[in-house]
Structure formats: C-alpha cells, structure tokens
Amino acid sequence: MVNKTKVRKKETPEERYKRLADKIISGELVAYLAQLHIPMLLQVFEEGYHVAHFCNMAEISEMTFYHWLDHYPEFKSAYTLAKVMSRSYYEAVGTKGIHDEHFNSKVWEIVMRNKHGYTDKRKLSIDKIAEAKTALEQFKCIIRDVEQGKLTADEAATLTNIVSSGINILEKTELAKDVEMLKEHLPKASQ
C-alpha cells in the first residue's frame, strides 16, 4: 500500500508517533512525488539541515532516500543542488560568526568538516610542475604560484622542502651507483 503524502492537521508528537507506528506496522510506504519531495529537499538543505532531517520531514527511512537517489535522476540532481545550498548556508553562518564573540567556531568547523568535506589542510596543485624537468624549473613553478597568490608562504616553504628532499635523495642514489661502479672497476684496475 502506497501513501501519496497528504496535508495533515497539526498533530501532537504522540499522535504523530502513533500514526507512524501504524504505517510501519501496516507496511504502508511513502510514494516518491517529485513536486512534493524536491521542494522539500531544497528547503531542508537551504535551512542547513541534511539527509536525516529530510527523511524525518518526508517520513521515510534513509534507505528509501538513497533508493530515490538511485532511481529518480531529477531527485539526484536536486540533491546535488541541495548540498550546495546547505554548504552556502553554513558558509554564510561562518562569515556572520566572524563578527560575533559568542559564535561557536568549533561546532561550525565540525559541521563544515563532516557535512561538507572541509579540511584543515587544502590540496595543493602547482601549475605545470609535472612538466618541469629540473629542480630549478620546479622551484620556478612554486615561486610563480606564490606570486600569483595561489600558494601561501608556508605552503611554498613546505613544497620547497619536498623538492629539496627529492634532490638529496636523487643525489645520494646517483652517488651510491657511482661508488658501486668504482668498486667494480677498482679490483680490476689494481691487478
């Protein structure tokens, strides 16, 4: 049996629990209705909530939510947009919080990390460094990205240390090969 989700009178929490329990016991399912569920999804996420809150509002399980994502492309597209809306909401909260001495930045940071994939460290990408054939060319790529504001001084220092370590390893490896070659030729030369 499928329920087409209709508008209900205001109910007490106890009435809602009883109604939901009756639905579960009877095996009644909530039908996916794009005109109802897509606006609901967008509203829930724009207000900063996430999947669990949407499922509560739509009176579905998370398993049903993910089933809808897999089977209804328009719902999946709406979910993609909804995630952007939620992230935008939290970015705005963080921006406003900068000026509020009571702002709980730690909670905000946890939400951003867990819901939106923010990290303390960012992935660094240096233009054309893969094409650089020498350490000097690599250093020039790093300097160029610092000048263009793509890297901070700390990031540049870290990357410079990585390049320098690579040079040291390469030099030691080449030196070890030269020593081995000399060892092979030395006994022959002394005979």
pLDDT in tens, 90-124: 989 888 888 888 888 888 888 888 887 777 666 77
pLDDT in tens, 32-58: 999 999 999 999 999 999 999 999 999
Please state, as a whole number, how many other Cβ atoms lie within 10 Å of the Cβ of residue 145: 20
Kindly indicate the confidence band of residue 188, based on its pLDDT and cuts at 50, 70 and 90: low
Position with higher pLDDT, 143 vs 87: 87
Report residue 188 as tokens.
Answer: 């022959």
Total residues belonging to the chain = 191
What pLDDT, on the 0 to 100 scale, is given for residue 69?
Answer: 95
Kindly indicate the confidence band of residue 187, based on its pLDDT and cuts at 50, 70 and 90: low
What pLDDT, on the 0 to 100 scale, is given for residue 118?
Answer: 74
Evaluate whether 50 touches 115 at the Cβ level (below 8 Å).
yes
Backbone angles phi, psi at 48, to 5 degrees: 95, 0
Least reliable range by pLDDT among 123-127, 129-133, 134-138, 139-143: 123-127
Position with higher pLDDT, 130 vs 87: 87
What pLDDT, on the 0 to 100 scale, is given for residue 2?
Answer: 45
Domains of the chain, by residue range, sit at 32-116, 135-190
Of 19, 51, 71, 70, give the one whose Cα is nearest residue 3.
19
Query: In the predicted model, what is the mean pLDDT of the chain?
Result: 85
What pLDDT, on the 0 to 100 scale, is given for residue 6?
Answer: 53
